[in-house]
């Protein structure tokens, strides 16, 4: 039986894992060496959602959280780059955010006030953020666009429901190139931001 060079075999399995992350748990069963190659990629993207499912990535909910908690701290710290948190309990969100210190891409939405998560989110090396900023800064008089949270941010999608004068200061985010709003009430503000936000390259108004 022909045997592939280890370097080529590793590349094939990693390519498969990147292309279809949901296949990683099965790939880990092929051989011990394959498990070593692809297991870190299993936690590159973490999707925590209590209600909906997607076939693209391995999913986790409340029942799976104890398994994530039992992982070595180095796994979450070194592996997680993309994090999706949808309607998870605050305790779950706090644990994941505090443990996953290398997250660059964060999507977070909850039914609960989540301003207490700001210290954990603010220290992440975020490049892309999808959230309700007003909920995140709920205990502040206004949204501080000079906060460390925004220092590396290039992509921002706001899930906020109402447009207020506070959001005109979005133009202060130093490296913002892509901005999206989810409600038509932001239309007038969008036109202004196109003029005032000098780094902006793409602005999207999502209306469903």
Which one of 8-12, 106-110, 156-160, 163-167 scores highest in mean pLDDT? 8-12
pLDDT tens per residue across span 82-112: 999 988 888 888 999 999 999 999 999 876 6
Secondary structure in 3-state letters for 47-93: EEECCCCCCCCCEECHHHHHHHHCCCHHHHHHHCCEEEEECCCHHHH
Top pLDDT among 20 and 103 is at 103
The whole-angstrom separation of Cα 93 and Cα 192 is: 34
Q: pLDDT band for position 53 (50/70/90)?
A: low
First to last CA, the chain: 55
13: its two tokens: 């399995």
Mean pLDDT in residue range 107-123: 85
pLDDT cut 70: percent of the chain above it: 88
CB contact at 8 A, 98 and 122: no
pTM (whole model) above 0.75? yes
Residue ranges and CATH numbers for the domains of the chain are 1-41 (no CATH), 42-205 (3.80.10)
CB contact at 8 A, 159 and 130: yes
């Amino acid at each position: 039986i022909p045997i592939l060079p280890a370097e080529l075999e590793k590349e094939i399995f990693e390519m498969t894992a990147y292309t279809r992350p949901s296949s990683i748990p099965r790939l880990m069963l092929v051989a011990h060496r394959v498990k070593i190659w692809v297991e870190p990629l299993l936690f590159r993207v973490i999707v925590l959602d209590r209600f909906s499912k997607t076939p693209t990535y391995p999913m986790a909910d409340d029942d799976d959280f104890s398994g994530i908690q039992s992982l070595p701290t180095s796994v979450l710290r070194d592996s997680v780059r993309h994090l999706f948190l949808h309607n998870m309990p605050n305790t779950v969100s706090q644990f994941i955010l505090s443990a996953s210190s290398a997250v660059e891409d964060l999507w977070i939405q909850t039914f609960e006030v989540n301003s207490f998560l700001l210290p954990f989110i603010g220290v992440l090396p975020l490049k892309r953020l999808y959230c309700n900023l007003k909920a995140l800064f709920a205990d502040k008089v206004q949204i501080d666009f000079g906060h460390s949270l925004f220092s590396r941010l290039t992509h921002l999608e706001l899930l906020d429901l109402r447009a207020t004068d506070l959001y005109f200061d979005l133009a202060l985010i130093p490296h913002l190139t892509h901005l999206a709003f989810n409600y038509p009430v932001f239309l007038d503000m969008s036109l202004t931001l196109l003029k005032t936000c000098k780094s902006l390259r793409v602005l999207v108004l999502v209306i469903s």
